[in-house]
């Protein structure tokens, strides 16, 4: 296919995905963006959130942690600290983690030391739940 795009998702544990895809949507720190073949060379940081790509007309979702994405016209390389497919997510656990971090966050103010950490934990839980619902 002419509109093919190479995608590599690399995490410290493994190559989470390599293959040809048609389109990828990445949760950038400045907002979500989509990449098709022929995108201008581009480097963006990736935030906690939901990554998805279309391969053979089928959409696959991943819950991802922070990292960055390097985009050249025919290839996208995404380096992230974790990437979980919807099948691998324990939704019950994610829901518990969400309740837990919401409760803890309620007691903290922006100046507290743990605030950023809890906020990130909450964002991760929300991303996991949302991905888990899309299997």
Partner 1 sequence: MASLKDIKRKVSAVSKTKQITRAMNMVAASKFKSAQMKMENFRPYAGKFMDVLNSLALRVDNLTHPLLAVRDPKKIRVICMTSDRGLCGGFNTNLIKATERFMKDKVADGKDVSLIAVGRKGRDYFRKKADIIAQKTDVLSKFDMTLAVAVADEVITPFIKEEYDELYLIYNQFVNVSVQKPTVVRLFPLPSVGQESADVDPDRLLDYAYEPSEEALMQRLLPMYVHVLVYRALLETSAGENGARMAAMDNATSNCEDLIRSLTLKMNKARQAAITAELMDIVGGTEALSKAG
Applying the rule CB under 8 A, the residues between 88 and 117 that interact with partner 1 are: 113, 117
From candidates 25, 77, 100, 130, binder to partner 1 by CB under 8 A = 77
Q: Examine residue 42 and tell whether it contacts partner 1 (CB under 8 A).
A: yes
CB closer to partner 1, 2 vs 15: 15
Report the run of H or E that residue 95 belongs to, with start and end.
helix 91-107
Length of the chain: 135
Report the run of H or E that residue 108 belongs to, with start and end.
none
From candidates 5, 27, 37, 44, binder to partner 1 by CB under 8 A = 44
As a whole number of angstroms, the distance between CA 117 and CA 129 comes to: 19
As a whole number of angstroms, the distance between CA 12 and CA 5 comes to: 23
The residues of the shown chain that bind partner 1, judged by CB under 8 A, are 10-15, 28-30, 40-45, 66-68, 70, 77, 79, 81-82, 113, 117
């Amino acid at each position: 296919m002419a509109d093919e795009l190479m995608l590599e998702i690399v995490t410290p544990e493994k190559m989470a995905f390599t293959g040809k895809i048609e389109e990828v949507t990445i949760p950038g720190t400045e907002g979500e963006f989509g990449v098709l073949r022929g995108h201008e060379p581009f480097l963006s940081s990736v935030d906690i959130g939901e990554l998805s790509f279309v391969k053979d007309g089928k959409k696959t979702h991943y819950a991802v942690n922070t990292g960055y994405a390097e985009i050249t016209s025919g290839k996208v390389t995404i380096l992230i600290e974790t990437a979980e497919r919807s099948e691998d997510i324990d939704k019950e656990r994610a829901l518990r983690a969400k309740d837990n971090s919401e409760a803890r966050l309620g007691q903290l103010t922006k100046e507290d030391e743990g605030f950023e950490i809890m906020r990130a934990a909450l964002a991760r839980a929300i991303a996991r739940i949302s991905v888990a619902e899309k299997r």
